[in-house]
Structure formats: C-alpha cells, structure tokens
C-alpha cells in the first residue's frame, strides 16, 4: 500500500536539498525536475532506513 508523502517530510527534504526558498516563494511548481527527482530519492532512502529499523534489519548500503 502506498502512502502519500507528508508536507512536513517534503519540506524537510527540500531544506536538505537547499530548495526550500524556491518552494516558499514559487511553490513546488518552481522546483526544477532534477531537484524533485533528488527529493524522491531521499524520501525512498529514508523510508528504506525506517523500514530496516522497524524490521530489525540494518544492513548499510
């Protein structure tokens, strides 16, 4: 089952990528697609880390 990414998480990741100012001034439509792709990559990595912690895994990449 897929979950929709929360606005809080999207903003946190945008801060990590350095595009939060664009999001605040222009909205998500102003963020270049390359940065949106990087945001998705970070979200997937974070989800995988959380899943590994919950399931007792912990294999590092």
The pTM score is: 0.73
- Phi, psi of 59, deg, nearest 5: -60, 125
| Separation between Cα atoms, residue 20 and residue 15, nearest integer Å | 5
| Separation between Cα atoms, residue 61 and residue 55, nearest integer Å | 16
Cα distances (Å, whole numbers) of residue 13 to 4, 35, 56: 15, 10, 25
Query: Where do the domains of the chain lie?
Result: 7-55
pLDDT along the chain (61 residues), means of 10: 78 96 97 96 93 77 54
């Amino acid at each position: 089952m897929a979950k929709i990414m929360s606005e809080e998480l999207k903003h946190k990741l945008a801060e990590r990528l350095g595009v939060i100012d664009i999001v605040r001034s222009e909205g998500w439509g102003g963020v270049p697609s390359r940065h949106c792709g990087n945001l998705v990559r970070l979200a997937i990595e974070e989800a995988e880390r959380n899943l590994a912690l919950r399931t007792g895994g912990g294999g590092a990449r």
